[in-house]
Amino acid sequence: MKSNNIYAQFNNSTIRVYQAFRDEIADEAIRLGKFGSHFRLGRMSWIKPTFLWMMYRSGWATKKGQERILAIDMKREGFDTIFKNAVLTSFDKDKYNNYENWKKQLAKTEARCQWDPDRDIYGNPLNRRTIQLGLRGNIIRKYIKEWIVNITDITQYVIELRDAIKDGTFKKCMLPAEDEYLYSLAP
């Protein structure tokens, strides 16, 4: 049985999430210290707290439009708000009672929660699930205007790790240390 747990880098006030972007969005975010005009508010934007899940989804910064990896330290209160208000992207009878109720909630929510198999450095599934959270509407506005504390471009670090995996010099200690993030209300 696969467990649903959040693994992340965090401290008492912030949690690190990852996003992948094209150059113009990443450059602007680094220059401004926040997302600017190239970041589109009108679409769902996904944050991922688990480093290897971000690497899997972005192809270690090789997929088109995902060549730049940003590590975003956000306020834990913001992450918790998103998480507690998120609607699962897949129907769960125990949580939503019936399919129609879930579809209505999913259509109107500003936060979505998707659990997927976590991955190892080669992209192989692990025996646990990891989370990504989709944001839109007022939640995405609060994320970019109130909850982001720091944005760091980690693309070069990702490339170095990718190269170490390819040439056989990779060591597990090269990965960011992630611990289980405890939460009280799980979607």
32 within 8 A of 70, measured Cβ to Cβ: no
Band of pLDDT at residue 63, cut at 50, 70 and 90 = very high
Query: If we measure between CA atoms, which residue out of 184, 185, 153 comes closest to residue 73?
Result: 153
What is the token pair recorded at 141?
């506005």
- H/E stretch holding 164: helix 155-167
User: pLDDT of 26-61, one tens digit each?
Assistant: 999 999 999 999 998 888 999 999 999 999 999 999
Residue 185 has a pLDDT of 43
Q: Partners of 70 in the beta sheet?
A: 19, 153
Nearby residues of 184 by Cβ (< 8 Å), 6 or more positions away: none
Domain range list for the chain: 3-176
% pLDDT > 70, the chain = 96
Which has the closest alpha carbon to 4: 131, 112, 123, 124? Answer: 131
pLDDT category at 70 given cuts 50, 70, 90 is very high
Half-sphere exposure of 82 (CA within 13 A, CB side): 32
| Tens digits of residue pLDDT in 3-12 | 688 999 999 9
Question: Please, which pLDDT band fits residue 94 given cuts at 50, 70 and 90?
Answer: confident
Answer for the pair 139, 74: CB distance below 8 angstroms, yes or no. Answer: no
In Å, the largest CA–CA distance within the chain is 51
Encode pLDDT of 111-130 as tens digits: 999 999 999 999 999 998 99
Hey, is 117 helix, strand or coil?
strand
pLDDT grade, residue 2 (50/70/90)? low
Q: What is the mean pLDDT of the chain?
A: 92
